[in-house]
Amino acid sequence: MRLPGPLREFGLPRILIAVFLVVLFAVAVATHMDLRGLISDSIVRVGRNGILVLALLPAIQGGIGLNFGLPLGIICGLVGAVISLNAGVHGIWGIAMAAGIGVTLAVPVGAGYGWLLNRTRGQEMMVGTYLGFAIVSMMSVFWLLAPFKNPTLVWAIGGRGLRTTLSLGGIYDKVLDRWLQFSIAGVEIPGGTILVFFVLCFLVWLFFRTRMGISISAARSSTQFARAAGISDQRTRVQATVLSTVLAAIGIVVFSQSYGFVQLYTAPLLMAFPAIACILIGGASVTRATIGHVLVGTFLFQSILTVALPVTSQVIQGDISETARLIIQNGMILYALTRVVRT
């Protein structure tokens, strides 16, 4: 089937997902659900997950493909968050400290990860997945043995080892969400989180217009061309990986403040998958992604997750939203992998 021009540009998968979303919203209206609340929740989730999706963009543009090793950066951010909580820093400064420490850790971690990916060229996605799994398990040991003493963080009994879920209530729970919060026609918008997301999108967009950014995309497009232009593609790939890891560290801190909890142990294990589904639904491929893909994809995927649960429980007895999520998420990843052009 051939679609007319502008629609073809948008892509069949996106059209199907968008139609699905519209149908969900229509059912929500027909069954007199709280539409404003649903839209508001959708936007909250966009802000919460957006930076993690954005973190995938430098990796794709740098020629690494889908960064299944996102948990590496996420763990850096979590370590930052736990240190800031242990020190008892509240409010925006707590978030800043968590992100700052996370970024500081993410730079060397990303560089090491990039080095590894350079040695395993052609299998980046597989290596990233398993490295992520390995590191998450290793860090589970760390969370248990790390010398954190703050009684709000460690298990009440025995006084050793961090809890699996740390509440941010009264520390920096929803600090960004509430900052600059406003409402349009009764729809609550978490201004601060959305602003941070947009600002980071803009900075990444700007980065790919700098000398370093241009050489990263050029090396992705053609290794031979890059060599002839004096670009070392080994170096640009490491740069792209570092940027991706850094953004993941910031992303998880923003995610946690919006969610209200810091989740440790195996929580980061599968976090790359929904983010990857988002950017793919937005229209990115394994070799090309834009900020537009990040924005559209995050909105479509997160809205479906938000709306599907209440709507489906209204229409049919029982909950198929988790099933729908897994079908869409993994189906999308599978679809994207079938489109990889072997060179």
Binding mask 190-229 for another protein (x = CB under 8 A): ----------------xx-xxxx-xx--x--xx-xx-xxx
- Helix pair 291-315, 321-338: axis angle to 10 deg: 150
Asked if 236 is part of the footprint of another protein (rule: CB under 8 A), the reply reads no
Contact flags string 97-136 toward another protein, x per CB under 8 A: ----------------------------------------
By beta-carbon proximity to another protein, the closer residue of 219 and 328 is: 219
The CA distance from 216 to 203, in Å, is 15
Give the span between the Cα atoms of 80 and 318, in whole angstroms.
39
State phi, psi for 114 to the nearest 5 degrees.
-60, -40
Amino acid at 279: I
> Contacts with another protein: how many residues (CB under 8 A)?
18
In angstroms, rounded to a whole number, what is the distance separating the alpha carbons of residues 297 and 281? 5
By the rule CB under 8 A, 5 interacts with another protein = no
162 beta partners: 154
C-beta of residue 66 within 8 angstroms of C-beta of residue 281: no
CB burial of 296-320 (b: ≥16 within 10 Å; e: otherwise) equals bbbbbbbbbbbbbbbbbeeeeeeee
Element (H, E) at 80: helix 70-87
CB nearer to another protein: give 45 or 220. 220
Could you give the CA distance from residue 85 to residue 87 in angstroms, rounded to a whole number? 5
Q: With respect to another protein, which residue has the nearer C-beta, 29 or 203?
A: 203
Q: At its nearest, how many Å lie between another protein and the CB of residue 243?
A: 12
Nearer to another protein, 29 or 206 (CB): 206
CB of 242 to another protein, least distance (A): 12
CB of 285 to another protein, least distance (A): 12
Residues sharing a CB contact under 8 Å with residue 236, sequence separation 6 or more, in sequence order:
62, 63, 212, 215, 216, 218, 219, 220, 226
Q: Please state the closest distance from residue 177 (CB atom) to another protein, in A.
A: 31
Determine the Cα–Cα distance for residues 205 and 199; give it in Å rounded to an integer. 10
At closest approach, how far in Å is the CB of 62 from another protein?
Answer: 14
Q: How far is it, in rounded angstroms, from Cα 221 to Cα 210?
A: 16
CB-wise, 215 or 256, nearer to another protein?
215
- Per rule CB under 8 A, is residue 10 in the interface with another protein? no
CB of 288 to another protein, least distance (A): 8
Q: Does the protein bind another protein through residue 142 (CB under 8 A)?
A: no
Q: Is 26 in the site for another protein (CB under 8 A)?
A: no
Residue 142 or 207: the one with the smaller Cβ distance to another protein is: 207
What x/- string results for residues 65 through 104 when contact with another protein is judged by CB under 8 A?
----------------------------------------
Strands 261-263 vs 165-167: parallel, antiparallel or unpaired = antiparallel
Output 12 or 206, the one with its CB closest to another protein.
206
Considering the complex, state which of residue 155 and residue 225 has its C-beta at the smaller distance from another protein. 225
Of 79, 81, 68, 173, nearest to 128 by C-alpha is 68
Could you tell me if 46 and 302 are in contact, meaning their C-beta atoms sit under 8 angstroms apart? yes
Nearer to another protein, 159 or 230 (CB): 230
Binding footprint of another protein on the chain (CB under 8 A): 206-207, 209-212, 214-215, 218, 221-222, 224-225, 227-231
